[in-house]
Structure 1
Amino acid sequence: MTDNYEDIIGMEHPTSIRHHRMSMSERAAQFAPFTALSGYDAMLEEQIRNTIESYDLIEESQ
């Protein structure tokens, strides 16, 4: 399997003429979590709260 990559294993990493090299923090920001749907987290938390309240009411009535 290593024979497949013998020709490129010692090559230097290509550098772009157009773009500067990113810092580690810039690269990390590329993979940082983000909120794709604004307000979704709040709606989900509200739904969870309502569900927990419903279960509490059921337990109290038994």
Structure 2
Amino acid sequence: MNKYEDMLDVKRPVSKKHPPMPIKDRAAQFAPFAALSGHREALAEEIKKYDEDLGYQ
């Protein structure tokens, strides 16, 4: 048995006090680490594609 095998099917804990952070906000928290040129533009394009897939304008 693998050392961590017993944890493979454990559900991640969900807070009863704090609602989950929206995906847009989670992605935005990494923006300050955009050390590569073009990273911000690439991220904006991915967000746009994601929003289109979900039917947002």
Larger Rg: 1
- Structure-2-length-normalised TM-score: 0.49
Q: Is the helix fraction higher in 1 or 2?
A: 1
Specify which structure has the bigger relative contact order, considering alpha-carbon pairs within 8 angstroms and separated by 6 or more residues: 2
- Structure-1-length-normalised TM-score: 0.45
